[in-house]
Amino acid sequence: MNKYINPYTDFGFKRLFGTEGNKDLLVDFLNCLMPAKHQITDLSFRNVEQLGEIPTDRKSIYDIYCRGANGDLFIVEMQKAKIKFFKDRALFYITFPIREQSQKGDWDYKLLPIYYIAILDFPYDEHEEIRKFDRNVQLRDEDGFVFYDKLGFRFLQMPFFNKTENELKTHYDKWCYFLKNLDSFDHIPQILNEPLFDKAFKTAELAAMTGAELFEYEQSKMVYWELKSAMDTSREEGFDNGEHTKALKIAKNMIVKGYSMIEIIEMTGLLKEEIETI
Lowest mean pLDDT among 32-36, 86-90, 247-251: 247-251
- Residue 57, pLDDT score: 39
- Residue 235, pLDDT score: 41
Residue spans of the domains in the chain: they are 10-209
pLDDT of residue 206 exceeding 80, the answer is yes
* 6 Cβ neighbours under 8 A, 6+ residues apart: 12, 182, 183, 221, 224
Mean pLDDT of 82-101: 85
3-state secondary structure (DSSP) of residue 229: coil
The residue that leads in pLDDT, 163 or 50, is 163
Mean pLDDT of 35-39: 79
Q: Average model confidence (pLDDT) for the chain?
A: 84
Judge whether 115 and 34 are in contact, CB under 8 Å.
yes
Helix (H) or strand (E) holding 123: none
Mean pLDDT of 172-176: 97
- Residue 232, pLDDT score: 47
Across 80-205, where does the E strand assignment appear? 114-120, 134-140, 146-157
Rg of the chain over Cα atoms, rounded to whole angstroms, equals 19
Mean pLDDT of 194-218: 94
pLDDT of residue 54 exceeding 70, the answer is no
- Residue 12, pLDDT score: 93
Highest mean pLDDT: which range of 11-15, 89-93, 223-227:
11-15
- Residue 231, pLDDT score: 52
The residue that leads in pLDDT, 222 or 30, is 30
- Residue 145, pLDDT score: 94
- Residue 32, pLDDT score: 94
Tell me the residue length of the chain. 278
- Residue 190, pLDDT score: 95
Mean pLDDT of 190-217: 95
Q: How do residues 141-162 score in pLDDT, each as one tens digit?
A: 999 999 999 999 999 999 999 9
29 backbone φψ class: left, alpha, beta (φ>0; ψ -120 to 50): alpha
- Cα(128)–Cα(58) distance, integer angstroms: 35
Backbone CA torsion sign across 98, 21, 61, 201: positive
Please report, in angstroms and rounded to a whole number, the separation of the first and last CA atoms in the chain: 33
- Cα(20)–Cα(26) distance, integer angstroms: 10
pLDDT of residue 256 exceeding 70, the answer is yes
Work out the number of other CB atoms within 10 angstroms of the CB of residue 175.
Answer: 22
* 104 Cβ neighbours under 8 A, 6+ residues apart: none
3-state secondary structure (DSSP) of residue 117: strand
C-alpha 98, offset from chain centre: 19
- Cα(85)–Cα(262) distance, integer angstroms: 12
Q: How do residues 218-244 score in pLDDT, each as one tens digit?
A: 988 887 887 776 554 444 444 555 667
Burial of 127 (0-12, 13-18, 19+ CB in 10 A): exposed
Mean pLDDT of 194-210: 95
Q: Categorize the per-residue pLDDT at 39 as very low, low, confident or very high, splitting at 50, 70 and 90.
A: confident
